[in-house]
């Protein structure tokens, strides 16, 4: 029984780190900053959460602390990428040539 | 009286987190927890938005539960889709920033909406301005405000409306 | 079996780390480097958790939690700095 839980946990670890790897790959392949943020935040958040679930299978007694880390990341990860995307858009970071539309028009004048 | 209830809810939440992080129930831990949590609760007379604005009714809790299930499903779906995009040799992206509208009024409801959008299929909230959200979309399917709103916002809004209004 | 899988997970995380570091080095802009830094941090948190499992030390989880907190603040601060102009 213990071994089975260990194997499930280890598989979760591998799945989670695979998503981290895909996030890293997206970071390299995507053509502009906004798409890089997209691939960065999404893949890494799920990746970390899967890793935390895997660690919970391997050491059930750590469950509470691991879920606190997960909860924290679930709130902070999207926030930091939103703040960064906002700042990048405001200072006019170049968008990829593939970009179709941009309905966000910056107000004239100096940034706050 | 209502204000007092908000502070009590904040105190209980803080104390619970303190105990969970420490993972022990020794007298010293509990004592420090009580002192620090009550000090923080006393400094914030209005309580804390996520607790104060939450509609603590059976419908609210049920919506929160369904929201969580829906969110997890969307999170997994979004990741598999992004994995497909990143791994495909042609890199089939069609990015753009679209504008969508939300019916939510409360600060916390809007925050949760923006966060959920960021974590799901190829969308990233760039800016939140009153009831308008500007969303970067990796594969733009519609630039029309109504259609984009139905596509991006509607799924989450349904639950958040009941939870936070 | 389990150990092998954990090593596989650790090496995948290592590759993610290397990819993020490449993006960190080639840039081209400051904001690209911050995104790369963010990803490096998240990968580091995962690696800390795997290390905690291997060494069987629960203290490392506190390290991961504090690290997550600091990196979040770091990204927010740098983003605000960018926004206000140089």
Of C55, C38, C37, C48, the closest CA to residue C13 belongs to: C48
Residue A16: list chain C partners with CB under 8 A: 9, 46
Nearest to A52 by CA among A42, A65, A38, A39: A65
> In chain B, helix, strand, coil percent, each to 5?
60, 15, 25
Confidence class of residue B1 from pLDDT cuts 50, 70 and 90?
very low
Q: Which residue among B94, B120, B126 sits closest to A100, beta carbon to beta carbon?
A: B94
Number of compact structural domains in chain C = 1
Of A64, A85, A98, the CB nearest to B95: A98
Q: Do A84 and C79 touch (CB under 8 A)?
A: yes
Q: Which residue has the higher pLDDT, B152 or B76?
A: B76
Residue A74, pLDDT above cutoff 80:
yes
User: Which of C6, C76, C84 has the CB atom closest to A83's CB atom?
Assistant: C76
Interval A52-81 mean pLDDT: 85
Least confident of A64-73, A89-98, B18-27, C71-80: A89-98
Q: What is the structure's pLDDT at C18?
A: 92
Residue listed under structure tokens 């916002």: B153
Asked which of A93-97, B9-13, C51-55 is least confident by mean pLDDT, the reply is: A93-97
Q: Is the pLDDT of residue B97 over 60?
A: yes
Distance CA A88, CA B29 (A): 43
Burial class (CB in 10 A: 0-12, 13-18, 19+), B83: buried
Residue range of the domain that includes C20:
2-83
- Please tell me the predicted confidence (pLDDT) of residue B137: 81
Answer yes or no: do A29 and B20 touch at CB < 8 A.
no
Q: Note the ipTM here.
A: 0.83
The answer for residues whose C-beta is within 8 angstroms of residue A60's C-beta and 6 or more apart is A5
Mean pLDDT of chain A: 81
Q: State yes or no: pLDDT of A110 exceeds 80.
A: no
What phi and psi values does residue B21 have, to the nearest 5 degrees? -65, -40
Whichever domain contains C34, its CATH number is 1.10.287
Beta-strand relationship, B132-137 and B123-129:
antiparallel
Decide: A35 and B93 in contact? Cβ < 8 Å.
yes
Judging contacts by C-beta atoms under 8 Å, the chain A residues touching residue C49 are 51-52, 55, 66, 69
**pLDDT tens digits, one per residue of C25-79:** 987 878 888 888 888 888 999 999 999 888 888 888 888 888 888 888 888 888 8
Q: How many CB pairs under 8 A join A and B?
A: 120
Q: How many whole angstroms separate alpha carbon B113 and alpha carbon B67?
A: 11
Nearest to A69 among C17, C65, C82 (CB): C65
| Residue A80 DSSP SS3 | helix
Per residue in C2-29, is it b (16+ CB within 10 Å) or e — as a string? beebbebbbebbebbbebbbebbeeeee
Confidence grade of residue B51 (pLDDT, cut at 50, 70, 90): low
Are A65 and B86 a contacting pair at CB < 8 A?
Answer: no
pLDDT tens digits, one per residue of C71-83: 888 888 888 887 7
pLDDT one-digit tens code per residue, B107-124: 777 888 888 888 876 788
- B94: DSSP letter: B
User: What are chain B's partners, defined as 3 or more CB pairs within 8 angstroms?
Assistant: A
């Amino acid at each position: 029984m213990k071994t089975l839980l260990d194997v499930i946990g280890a598989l979760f670890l591998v799945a989670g780190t695979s998503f981290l790897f895909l996030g890293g790959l997206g970071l390299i392949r995507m053509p502009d900053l906004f798409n890089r943020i997209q691939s960065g935040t999404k893949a890494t958040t799920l990746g970390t959460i899967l890793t935390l679930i895997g660690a919970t299978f391997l050491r059930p007694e750590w469950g509470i602390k691991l879920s606190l880390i997960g909860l924290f990341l679930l709130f902070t990860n999207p926030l930091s990428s939103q703040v960064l995307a906002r700042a990048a858009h405001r200072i006019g970071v170049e968008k990829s040539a593939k970009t179709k539309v941009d309905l966000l028009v910056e107000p004239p004048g100096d940034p706050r | 009286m209502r204000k007092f209830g908000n502070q009590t809810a904040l105190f209980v939440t803080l104390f619970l987190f303190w105990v969970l992080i420490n993972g022990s129930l020794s007298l010293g831990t509990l004592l420090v927890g009580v002192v620090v949590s009550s000090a923080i609760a006393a400094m914030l007379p209005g309580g804390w938005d996520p607790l104060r604005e939450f509609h603590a009714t059976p419908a609210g809790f049920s919506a929160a539960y369904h929201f969580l299930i829906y969110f997890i499903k969307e999170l997994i779906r979004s990741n598999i889709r992004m994995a497909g995009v990143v791994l495909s040799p042609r890199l089939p992206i069609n990015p753009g920033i679209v504008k969508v509208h939300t019916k939510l009024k409360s600060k916390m409801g809007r925050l949760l909406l923006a966060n959920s959008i960021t974590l799901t299929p190829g969308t990233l909230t760039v800016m939140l301005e009153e009831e308008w959200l500007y969303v970067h979309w990796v594969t733009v399917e519609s630039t029309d405000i109504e259609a984009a709103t139905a596509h991006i916002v509607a799924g989450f809004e349904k639950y958040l409306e009941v939870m936070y209004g | 079996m389990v150990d092998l899988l954990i090593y596989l997970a650790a090496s995948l995380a290592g590759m993610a780390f290397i990819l993020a570091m490449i993006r960190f080095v080639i840039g081209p802009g400051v904001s690209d480097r911050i995104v790369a830094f963010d990803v490096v941090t998240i990968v580091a948190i995962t690696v800390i958790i795997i290390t905690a499992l291997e060494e069987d030390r629960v203290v490392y989880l506190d390290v991961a939690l504090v690290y997550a907190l600091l990196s979040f603040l770091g990204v927010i601060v740098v983003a605000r700095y960018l926004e206000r102009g140089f």
